[in-house]
Amino acid sequence: MSRRLVVLTGLSGSGKSTGARALEDAGFFVVDNLPLPLLPDFLALTDRGYRHVAVVVDARSRDFLSGAQLILADLKNSGTSLEVLFFEAADEELVRRFSETRRRHPLVQQEGIAGAIRQERELMAELKRAATVILDSSETNVHQLRQKVLTVVFGPEQETNRLAVQLVSFGYRYGLPLEADLVFDVRFLDNPHFVPELRPLTGRDPQVSHFVLSQPDCQEFIERVKDLLFFQVPRCLKEGKSALTIAVGCTGGRHRSVAVVEELRPYLLGTGCAVEVIHRDADRSVS
């Protein structure tokens, strides 16, 4: 199997960072701002552990851009599967983006942002000639650009990634999970904590699970959550979202939330998501 290398290059503000994040989410090992002369040594260093590598090369390493075509040609001749994605945009759009974000262009000096963009186009001309694909992001939002990059690298028919769903059970008494995108409160359900034989157990135990899930309100709640996720998951993927954290909370995070998360796990797996379950507070001491 040949090493696969994607070089992300082009103009500052044109979307290289969006492309790099898209490939990283798809399983590439991504390095930002690598001087081109170091690329062969870097690939040799990572040869054993990484078969899909992407590097961002741009004007920040401007002193090392000469001879780009020769370096890339040598890599191709050595058997590396190489793609060079060159990102650009119209000058007016680049000026607008730098104005909105208030970021400093790496080449800006007395001539201002417009002059820096002209200088950068000249500096990056050799890499543009070496490009296998040129991506113009002038009229593209970040989600559309992300999809363009994935389509170029993986092809229009190949599934590049699945939505990575993290299911988290938690206790409200210990605070909300800060990373949660969706939060569901199941404190309205009858609490196993007040059943002496169930109190020392968790929602992973069959007795507790049956106590929680057999409640009619719980069954209706789970069906409504599944309906919501059936609607939302494909739209997250369409937007270009790669991860979703769903948190389910009860008072202590030991019984009800754990049982509900375990019930949602197989449903989400069945939708094609990659699912990770975290029971944040389930093993705290019973009080």
pLDDT digits (tens, 9 = 90+) for 87-114: 999 999 988 888 776 677 777 765 678 8
Whether residue 125 is found in the same domain as residue 174: no
Amino acid found at 130: A
Determine the average pLDDT of the residues in 53-74.
82
- Reported confidence tier of residue 85, pLDDT bands at 50, 70, 90: very high
3-state secondary structure 98-116: HHHHCCCCCCCCCCHHHHH
pLDDT of 1 reads: 45
Mean pLDDT of 195-206: 94
Per-position DSSP letters for 223-253, written without gaps between them: HHHHHHHHHHHHHHHHHT--EEEEEEEESSS
Regarding whether 147 and 218 lie in a shared domain, the answer is no
Does residue 255 sit within a domain?
yes
What is the model's pLDDT at position 98? 82
Mean pLDDT of 112-141: 88
191 domain-assigned: yes
Domain range for 57:
4-154
197 and 72 share a domain?
Answer: no
Percentage with pLDDT > 90 across the chain: 41
Q: How far apart are CA 6 and CA 27, in angstroms?
A: 12
Last residue of a domain, one of 94, 121, 154: 154
pLDDT for position 217: 97
Q: Is the domain of 69 the same as that of 98?
A: yes
pLDDT at residue 102 in the model:
67
- Output the pLDDT for position 44: 83
Indicate whether 150 and 25 sit together in one domain. Answer: yes
pTM value is 0.56
Q: Which pairing describes strands 274-279 and 182-185: parallel, antiparallel, or unpaired? A: unpaired
CA angle 161, 164, 165 (to 5 degrees): 155
Tens of pLDDT along 208-265? 999 999 999 999 999 999 999 989 988 887 777 878 999 999 999 999 999 999 999 8
131-186: pLDDT as tens digits:
999 999 998 888 788 878 888 888 765 544 578 899 999 999 999 999 899 999 99
What domain count does the chain have?
A: 2
Q: Is the domain of 96 the same as that of 197?
A: no
In DSSP terms, 84 is beta-bridged to 7
Q: Do residues 184 and 96 share a domain?
A: no
- For residue 15, give both structure tokens: 């979307």
**188 and 140 in a common domain:** no
Q: d(Cα 133, Cα 153) in Å, to the nearest integer?
A: 10
